[in-house]
């Protein structure tokens, strides 16, 4: 028997407790029928009857088989049946059958969703201790850990602002299977899911609490042995010449914080991760319509991903070097705000004509990219809720990806398919340079509506130069309007699983 972890509320800083619901995970090789638990989850394929669990079925005098032939449960994907077990016959008080669909059509994502579905169902019934039989999924040449990933991701709740929300939930998950096969993969999946839920908490937190200062304090809380955190104040950023980034913060009373994290876990040049960290985007003087503006607290989702990735990478001790940069600011239309037509100077000396103060993300990112280049990174990856056009193009099904490093983009594409944080590449044709030509400055910050997903990225490309660089636009995917089996409404934490799995592979 192996205990993996037990934590409920994690204090990252004194002022900002982050609640990411977590439970104790125990891995053990005892038999299902001997496991004392509120509910035992048995995944099943369509059209195969109770065969994989013959021993359990016969202990229950054929109950599972009877349910499956009654058509109440056929094993269709995400189909559920909850069975009461007779007193004292077997350990589990309930059996939850969860359908995986037809064996031939089964995918990792299908299994992940089934995990989410099963867990949120049991959670809604108030069960405290649940267990999962892994032997059947393992026999199908799939890893049971994706099912567990679905469980951990689906149980996330944003609990910070309502007293009644702070209690309840599944407290213990017992995983039944071969300990030596499950231990390492479950540790990884647990660390990653913790990271996703950490990011979700930061993004769901409203902008009056999740200010640039708050973000910088959370970053400071991640400092430890191999992680150093530096925070550049407004004057420091001025000294560095980050005029574009600073122009975004001019209209707000919240001071900008340019956060730089360094994780030294390996050798060689670092990978630089830059996350857009606009804690609220009103649009500035080019103000947005009020309808839906409340959602613009999620304009720091990229920064949350970077913090989560550094946290998990350092706790898991990935053997790599990372730089994390969060150019945090609030975009408001105060009396000192920058105005359309203003010209600002970036860290690398290029001047930018601000046509639209709502195209603020690229201003902050341009200086962050310029700053990242000082570390001579082997690659820069930026992740940002950059354009409304991203969700126009791809809805909430894929991250838009652009960049100048084909190898890395191919890698991200395949990891995206695996994690189901899918990415889709968009072009960066040289012709887009025309769209951003200014009459009086080196470049302007928007080329208007047409092609605005790609011209935003093209703007960044001008600052990346010949440093290998990939841009991920998560505007369409970082916030879920509709829940999915393991993604509750609100912040999704997208990007955390994608980037952590990328980093683990390189
Ligand atoms: N943060 C927004 C992009 C966004 C919009 C994210 C909706 C999530 C949901 C970004 O700063 C922005 O306002 N972009 C503008 C650019 C335009 C002015 C060229 C846009 O896409 O409308
Ligand atoms: Mn904007
Ligand atoms: Zn924005």
For position 50, what pLDDT does the model report? 82
- Report for 22-26, 47-51, 308-312: range of highest mean pLDDT: 308-312
Mutate to test the pocket of ligand 1, among 300, 329, 387, 389 (most ligand atoms within 8 A of CB): 387
For position 48, what pLDDT does the model report? 87
Distance 327 CA to ligand 2 centre (A): 14
Report which of 39, 50, 273, 55 is spatially closest to residue 172, judged by C-alpha positions. 39
For 320, residues 6+ apart whose C-beta sits below 8 A from its C-beta are: 263, 265, 266, 270, 271, 313, 503, 506
Do residues 253 and 334 make contact, with C-beta atoms less than 8 angstroms apart?
yes
For 274, residues 6+ apart whose C-beta sits below 8 A from its C-beta are: 302, 306, 324, 325, 326, 327, 365, 368, 369, 372, 380, 381, 382, 383, 384
Please report which helix (H) or strand (E) contains residue 83, including its range.
Answer: strand 80-84
Q: Does the beta carbon of 385 lie inside 6 Å of ligand 1?
A: yes
For position 6, what pLDDT does the model report? 40
Distance 284 CA to ligand 2 centre (A): 8
Mutate to test the pocket of ligand 1, among 388, 476, 494 (most ligand atoms within 8 A of CB): 388
Distance 107 CA to ligand 2 centre (A): 37
Structure tokens at 398: 């894929």
By alpha-carbon position, which residue is closest to atom 7 of ligand 1? 388
362/447 Cα distance (integer angstroms): 12
312/227 Cα distance (integer angstroms): 11
For position 9, what pLDDT does the model report? 47
212/218 Cα distance (integer angstroms): 10
Instruction: Please state which of the ranges 49-53, 118-122, 319-323, 496-500 shows the lowest mean pLDDT.
Output: 49-53
Query: What mean pLDDT do residues 394-420 have?
Result: 98
Longest dimension (CA), the chain: 83
For 430, residues 6+ apart whose C-beta sits below 8 A from its C-beta are: none
- The angle, 0 to 180 degrees and rounded to 10, between the axes of the packed helices 301-315 and 496-505 is 40
By alpha-carbon position, which residue is closest to atom 13 of ligand 1? 358
For position 4, what pLDDT does the model report? 46
For position 152, what pLDDT does the model report? 95
For position 141, what pLDDT does the model report? 85
Distance 251 CA to ligand 3 centre (A): 14
- Say whether 235 sits in a helix, a strand or coil: helix
pLDDT at 10 over 70: no
Q: Does the beta carbon of 356 lie inside 6 Å of ligand 1?
A: yes
CB neighbour burial string for 213-230, b if at least 16 within 10 angstroms, e if fewer: bbbbbbbebbeeeebebe
Q: Does the beta carbon of 197 lie inside 6 Å of ligand 1?
A: no
Q: Which ligand is nearest to the CA of 356?
A: 1
Scanning the structure block, which residue is given the tokens 């039944």?
176
Instruction: Please state which of the ranges 85-89, 273-277, 401-405 shows the lowest mean pLDDT.
Output: 85-89
Catalytic residue numbers, as ranges? 288, 362
Mutate to test the pocket of ligand 1, among 358, 400, 452 (most ligand atoms within 8 A of CB): 358
Q: Does the beta carbon of 388 lie inside 6 Å of ligand 1?
A: yes
For residue 499, the tally of other CB atoms under 10 A from its CB is 27
DSSP per-residue string spanning 375-426: G--SEEEEEE---HHHHHHHTTS-EEEEES-HHHHHHHHHHHHHHT--EEE-
pLDDT at 262 over 90: yes
List, for residues 469-489, the tens digit of each pLDDT value.
Answer: 999 999 999 999 999 999 999
pLDDT band at 149 (very low <50, low <70, confident <90, very high): very high
Q: Does the beta carbon of 281 lie inside 6 Å of ligand 1?
A: yes
Structure tokens at 15: 């002022």
- Say whether 19 sits in a helix, a strand or coil: strand
Average pLDDT, the chain: 94
Report which of 491, 497, 494, 499 is spatially closest to residue 203, judged by C-alpha positions. 491
Report which of 93, 71, 90, 91 is spatially closest to residue 82, judged by C-alpha positions. 93
Instruction: Please state which of the ranges 133-142, 234-243, 289-298, 338-347 shows the lowest mean pLDDT.
Output: 133-142
For position 19, what pLDDT does the model report? 55
366/94 Cα distance (integer angstroms): 56
Burial class (CB in 10 A: 0-12, 13-18, 19+), 308: buried
By alpha-carbon position, which residue is closest to atom 16 of ligand 1? 359
* Atom of ligand 1 lying closest to residue 288 CA: 13
Query: What mean pLDDT do residues 3-12 have?
Result: 46
pLDDT at 34 over 50: yes
345/367 Cα distance (integer angstroms): 9
Structure tokens at 12: 């990252």
Query: What mean pLDDT do residues 268-280 have?
Result: 98
Distance 171 CA to ligand 3 centre (A): 38
List, for residues 451-461, the tens digit of each pLDDT value.
Answer: 999 999 999 99
Structure tokens at 7: 């934590």
Q: Which ligand is nearest to the CA of 282?
A: 2
Note residues around ion ligand 3 (Cβ under 5 angstroms): 278, 281, 299, 361
DSSP annotation of 247 reads: H
Distance 403 CA to ligand 3 centre (A): 20
pLDDT band at 133 (very low <50, low <70, confident <90, very high): very high
List, for residues 161-203, the tens digit of each pLDDT value.
Answer: 887 666 678 999 999 999 999 999 999 999 999 999 999 999 9
* Atom of ligand 1 lying closest to residue 452 CA: 19
Q: How far is CA 178 from CA 222, 378, 391, 463, in A?
A: 34, 39, 43, 50
């Amino acid at each position: 028997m192996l205990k993996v972890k037990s934590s409920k509320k994690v204090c990252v800083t004194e002022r900002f407790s982050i609640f990411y619901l977590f439970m104790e995970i125990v891995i053990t090789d005892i038999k299902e029928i001997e496991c004392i638990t509120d509910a035992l989850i048995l995944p099943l394929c369509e059209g195969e009857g109770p065969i994989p669990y013959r021993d359990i079925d016969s202990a229950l005098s054929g109950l599972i088989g009877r349910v499956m032939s009654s058509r109440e449960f056929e094993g269709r994907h995400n189909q559920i049946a909850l069975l009461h077990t007779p007193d004292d016959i077997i350990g589990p008080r309930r059996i939850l059958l969860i359908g995986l669909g037809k064996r031939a059509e089964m995918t990792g994502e299908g299994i992940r969703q089934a995990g989410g579905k099963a867990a949120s169902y049991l959670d809604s019934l108030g069960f405290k201790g649940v267990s999962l039989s892994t032997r059947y999924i393992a026999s199908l040449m799939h890893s049971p850990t994706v099912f567990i990933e679905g469980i951990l991701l689906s149980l996330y709740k944003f609990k910070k602002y309502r007293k009644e929300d702070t209690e309840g939930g599944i407290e213990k998950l017992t995983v039944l299977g071969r300990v030596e096969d499950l231990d390492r993969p479950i540790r990884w999946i647990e660390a990653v899911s913790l990271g996703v839920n950490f990011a979700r908490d930061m993004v769901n937190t409203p902008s009056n609490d999740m200010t640039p200062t708050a973000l910088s304090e959370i970053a400071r809380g991640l400092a430890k042995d191999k992680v150093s955190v530096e925070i550049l104040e407004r004057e420091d950023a001025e000294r560095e010449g980050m005029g574009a980034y600073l122009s975004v913060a001019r209209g707000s009373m919240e001071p900008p914080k340019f956060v730089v994290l360094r994780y030294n876990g390996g050798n060689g040049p670092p990978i630089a991760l830059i996350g857009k960290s606009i804690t609220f985007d009103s649009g500035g003087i080019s103000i947005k319509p009020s309808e839906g503006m409340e959602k613009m607290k999620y304009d720091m989702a990229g920064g949350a991903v970077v913090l989560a990735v550094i946290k998990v990478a350092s706790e898991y001790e990935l053997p790599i070097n990372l730089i994390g940069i969060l150019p945090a600011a609030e975009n408001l239309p105060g009396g000192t705000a920058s105005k359309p037509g203003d010209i600002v100077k970036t860290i690398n000396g290029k001047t930018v004509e601000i046509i639209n103060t709502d195209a603020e993300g690229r201003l902050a990112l341009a200086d962050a990219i310029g700053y990242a280049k000082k570390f001579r990174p082997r690659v820069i990856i930026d992740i940002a809720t950059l354009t409304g056009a991203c969700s126009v193009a791809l809805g909430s099904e894929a991250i838009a990806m652009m960049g100048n490093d084909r190898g890395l983009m191919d890698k991200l594409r395949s990891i995206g398919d695996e994690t189901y944080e899918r990415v889709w590449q968009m072009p960066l044709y040289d012709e887009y340079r025309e769209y951003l030509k200014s009459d009086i400055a080196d470049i302007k910050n928007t080329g208007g509506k047409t092609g605005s997903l790609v011209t935003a990225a093209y703007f960044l490309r001008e600052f990346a130069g010949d440093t290998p660089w990939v841009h991920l636009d998560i505007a369409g995917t970082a916030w879920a309007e509709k829940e999915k089996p393991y993604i509750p409404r609100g912040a999704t934490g997208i990007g955390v699983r994608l980037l952590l799995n990328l980093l683990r592979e390189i």
